[in-house]
Structure 1
Amino acid sequence: MPFARSADDVQLHYQVSGSGEPLLLLSGQANNLHWWDRVRPDFEREFTTVVLDHRGTGLSGKPEGGYATRTFAEDALSVLDDLGVDRCHVYGTSMGGRVAQWLAADHPERVRGLVLGCTSPGPPHGVERSAEVRRSLAQPDRLKARRALLELMYTPAWLERHDEPFTTHGGPFTTLGDPDMPPHARKGHLLASGNHNSWDALPSITAPTLVVHGTDDEFNPTANAPLLAKRIPDTRLHLVEGARHAYFEEFHHETGPLVADFLDAH
């Protein structure tokens, strides 16, 4: 079981599979590497996929502090260093897209092609979710809050067809958060996402970039996609019609080939 060490000596668990050019996949907030379970097979025939448990999740260390999207980017770099990967493609979704922004801005020589999915430049320039959405996720009834999150992630049609959603590690869902995170780590991830602000760094990204977002995403509003596309040079924007936040899973038959073709071209 492979582990790397971060610059501040946190253990970082990762997995590698597939063959071809390396592709780093970065998961969303408070999620471990299983976020990508359904998506990785779309890429493994063309790419060597690398996934990791962010600090605070999965089998990685869970320090009391050190939670920031820029730190997560340095953690990802430590994994690449451990693998001896000098340059790779990077695909980040949700908070993973925020992490990918820093990786591409701070280490342009390490990023070959960049895909930013359902993500944001962060406040104060990004578009935040509505107060109504925030209330739905913060309601005291945990079952109702979970249902609200499900409905923000997936379309009603998908949820109707997936009473027992795809999983490879025994849990009910792979995108609704790591259930084993300690409270301090969960809070750290929340603050990391909330404090993210890459606006000034975005124009320095040199990697060819694809921005992907669902047209019906209220969890991370779709309006963030054109903001990123206008701010980052050499960027293509693709909106997935009817998709919500987990477009990369529900619509993977559309977006998997889209992303693979984009990265193949660069």
Structure 2
Amino acid sequence: MPVTKVNGIDLYYEVHGEGEPLLLIMGLSLSSRSWFRSVPVLSEHYQVIIFDNRGVGQSGKPNTPYSIELMAEDTRAVLDAVGVESAHVYGISMGGMIAQRFALKYPNRVKSLILGCTTSGGATHVQPGADVSMLMMSRASSTATPEEMAWATAPILYSQSFIENHRQLIAEDIEKRIEQPILPHAYVLQLQACIGHDTSEEINTIQKPTLIIHGNEDKLVPYENGVVLAEKIPNAEFLTIQGAGHIYVTEAIDLANQKVLEFLNKQR
């Protein structure tokens, strides 16, 4: 089991495929297993590196404050452990926040940047609806089982049309999530890190080729946040996935993988 130690904890990681390195960073409360629809396709062309953020999966779960900057340090440690000097970096949701901070702090270690369903935070962040925020805040104190809570949050993670027509695909996602459910304290600490995230006054300094992907039915990180990123990051490409919610890596996985590969191939 590949593990590296950083800031006093173990970080679990995996490497798939060969070629130029592509680092994938997952979002709030999810382990690297939630990349299961992306890794098989992307690793046919790239050396794909995935890892469990602190607080989830097989990585350490300290009950001490987390921050996006701290998790960017974790990200650096994973690249060091694999022996990779620089990589294409693809983060979604909280992982996109980590990717932004990593690119700002370690620009020489980033070949290109892909930011999915994420935000720069700060004063320009467009908040989700009050009902969405309340549900996300209540997760830590809920007495529901991990599976029950996963289904309860489905309406804010997927578009209504997808829920009605592709319930089996959502069930597959949930099965992956509940294999290693996040502990309540770790969920709160990751959520607090997300709330504290703010690159809004810095991202205009990012000089790396950047692709932004956002579903226009995203309820958790509203679509307008993707628009802001595309406006602020110089020469960023912007892919709108029509009709998709937050988890576009399930709702439109073929399109997402295709566009990611097209973008990466242009950087060669």
- What is the TM-score with the length of structure 2 in the denominator? 0.90
- 1-structure distance, mates of 2:210, 2:175: 29
The residue identity in structure 1 corresponding to 2:153 is: L
* 1:155-194 matched pairs, under 5 angstroms: 155-159=159-163, 160-163=165-168, 165=170, 167=172, 172-174=174-176, 178-179=180-181, 181-194=182-195
- 2-structure distance, mates of 1:46, 1:73: 25
Residue of structure 2 in register with 1:102 after alignment: 101
Q: Structure 1 residues 15, 245: CA separation in 2 closer, same or farther (over 3 Å shift)?
A: same
Residue of structure 1 in register with 2:248 after alignment: 247
Q: Structure 1 residues 145, 83: CA separation in 2 closer, same or farther (over 3 Å shift)?
A: closer
- 1-structure distance, mates of 2:153, 2:71: 24
The percentage of aligned residue pairs carrying the same residue is 33
- 2-structure distance, mates of 1:214, 1:30: 20
Residue of structure 2 in register with 1:132 after alignment: 131
* 1:1-266 matched pairs, under 5 angstroms: 1-6=1-6, 8-137=7-136, 138=138, 142=144, 146-159=150-163, 160-163=165-168, 165=170, 167=172, 172-174=174-176, 178-179=180-181, 181-266=182-267
The residue identity in structure 2 corresponding to 1:88 is: A
Q: Which runs of 5+ in 2 are unaligned?
A: none
CA contact (8 A) 2:96 2:115 kept: yes
RMSD: 2.2
- 1-structure distance, mates of 2:20, 2:97: 23
- 1-structure distance, mates of 2:237, 2:169: 35
Q: What is the CA distance between 1:156 and its match in structure 2?
A: 3.7
Indicate the structure with greater helix content: 2
SS in 2 for 1:174: helix
**Between Structure 1 and Structure 2, how many residues are aligned?**
261
SS in 1 for 2:239: strand
- 1-structure distance, mates of 2:114, 2:179: 22
